[in-house]
Amino acid sequence: MTCETGNLGDLGVARVGYGAMKLTGWPRGDRPDRDTALAVLRRAVELGVNHIDTSNYYARDGVSANELIRSALHPYADDLVLVTKVGALVEGPDIMLPPEQHTGLSPDGLRRGIEANLTSLGIDRVDVVNLRMGDRGHGDASIAEPLETLMKLREEGLIRHIGVSNIGLPEFELARSIAPIVCVQNQYNVARRDDDPLIDACTAAGVAYVPFFPIGGGFQPVTAEHLTTVAERHGATVAQVALAWLLARSPNILLIPGTGSLAHLEENIAAGDLTLTPEDLALIG
Ligand SMILES: NC(=O)c1ccc[n+]([C@@H]2O[C@H](COP(=O)([O-])OP(=O)(O)OC[C@H]3O[C@@H](n4cnc5c(N)ncnc54)[C@H](OP(=O)(O)O)[C@@H]3O)[C@@H](O)[C@H]2O)c1
């Protein structure tokens, strides 16, 4: 496991973390059985992961990421950083509702979202909460009012740090004028690099950038000819090269690859020890 660390505000974390969404099969798709899910979470922490990404709404058919995290890991180690998110959705099944019934971005909805995360995770204060914007019929919603609500909840002691998710560069700048933003969580990987300018802005501002779908999200594998070549050079897998490429992309990138497989978990964490050479990086382009 890499001993490299990054920061979420004043919280130091290993650069390779873990994303819990895939443990639930939310919003659709396969998921591991409960025993495997608990084993994956415990093994992640054993291997040095101390940054787990989750949400109260990662829940389907009674299988909830926060409940699994609590069952596997509570009482939590002092250095474990749980990062959750709130947005248009509060509960998993909300995704089935028409957009006008997604009330999670209102002041009351944000409070319900934070309180639901506190209860399901069994904590008094959220380490980091990402404000998730940008879709589900709320694409034009301003980030300002929800951030002001989160700042009030922070003043009440329910939140330690605030991040933003699914936002562009203008919203990043606006968000930073309203709240001390510690991280951005957007879609980015070696095959999808639209966020390059935002990553550069985060680097300059000392804000962590946490890409979701770092290995393609299981939908669109980040396979490419050059990734395979580089993987063969290192005796690594394509997924490991995709993760190592992200670590090389910027020192403020933190990873949260998701998996319901113990073998993939170990592979992903080992990617933290894979250093790509300048030749590798030039080949990948
Ligand atoms: N802010 C947002 O809007 C947002 C959106 C989506 C996700 N997220 C967060 O980001 C985290 C990461 O995203 P993600 O989990 O959806 O996508 P991902 O990490 O890019 O990919 C996960 C998929 O890749 C497979 N996989 C994992 N490791 C592998 C390996 N070593 N080799 C081959 N396949 C592998 C997994 O299947 P197996 O289970 O079979 O390994 C799973 O299907 C999520 O868990 C969630 O916490 C945030």
**How far, in Å, CA of 127 to CA of 263, rounded?**
28
As given in the structure block, the two tokens for residue 40 are 């994956």
pLDDT tens per residue, range 82-121: 999 999 999 999 999 998 899 999 999 999 999 999 999 9
| Edge-first strand listing for the sheet containing 18-19 | 18-19, 51-53, 81-86, 126-132, 159-165, 181-185, 208-209
Backbone dihedral angles phi then psi of residue 139, each to the nearest 5 degrees: -60, -30
When pLDDT is averaged across residues 206-219 and rounded to a whole number, the result is 92
Question: What's the chain's average pLDDT?
Answer: 94
- Has residue 226 been placed in a domain? no
For 188, the 3-state DSSP assignment is coil
Does residue 182 form part of some domain? yes
Give the separation between CA 275 and CA 270, rounded to whole angstroms. Answer: 11
Q: Which atom of ligand 1 lies at the shortest distance from residue 211's CA?
A: 10
Task: Tell me how many domains the chain contains.
Answer: 1
Structural domain including 17 reads 5-217+251-260
As a whole number of angstroms, the distance between CA 36 and CA 49 comes to 17
Cα end-to-end span (Å), the chain: 26
- Protein residue closest via CA to atom 27 of ligand 1: 259
- CA-nearest residue for atom 24, ligand 1, is 218
**Alpha carbons 199 and 57: distance in angstroms, whole number:** 27
From 52, 164, 264, mutation site for ligand 1 pocket: most ligand atoms within 8 A of C-beta: 264
Could you read off the pLDDT of 163-202 as tens digits, one per residue?
Answer: 999 999 999 999 999 999 999 999 999 999 999 999 999 9
Residue nearest to atom 15 of ligand 1 (CA): 258
- The residues with which 143 forms a beta bridge, in sequence order, are none
The predicted structure's pLDDT at residue 134: 78
Task: Supply the residue whose CA is at minimum distance from atom 16 of ligand 1.
Answer: 217
* Eight-state DSSP code of residue 194: T
Q: What is the pLDDT of residue 222?
A: 67
Rounded distance from Cα 70 to ligand 1 centre (Å): 20
Q: Which of 212, 219, 240, 267 to mutate to test the pocket of ligand 1 (most atoms within 8 A of CB)?
A: 212
Report yes or no on 282 lying in a domain. no
Domain assignment of residue 284, yes or no: no
Is 167 within a domain? yes
Q: Residue 212: is its pLDDT beyond 90?
A: yes
Closest CA to 15 of 151, 214, 225: 214
CA of 171 to the centre of ligand 1 (A): 25
* Position 138 pLDDT exceeds 50: yes
Confidence check: pLDDT of 223 > 70: no
Active site residues: 58
Predicted local confidence at residue 218, as pLDDT: 79
Least confident of 120-129, 158-167, 224-233: 224-233
Does pTM surpass 0.85?
yes
Q: Does 48 reside within a domain?
A: yes
Let me know if residue 245 belongs to a domain: no
Query: Do 85 and 131 contact (CB within 8 A), yes or no?
Result: yes
Looking at the domain assignment, is residue 266 inside a domain?
no
Tokens linked to 229: 């070549």
Taking CA atoms only, the protein residue closest to ligand 1 atom 11 is: 19
Could you tell me the distance, in angstroms and rounded to a whole number, from the CA of residue 192 to the centre of ligand 1?
15
Q: Residues with beta carbon inside 6 Å of ligand 1?
A: 19-22, 53, 85, 132, 165-166, 185, 212-218, 239, 256-261, 264, 267-268
H or E element at residue 82: strand 81-86
By residue count, the chain amounts to: 285
Residue 1 has pLDDT above 50, yes or no: no
CATH number for the domain harbouring residue 183: 3.20.20.100
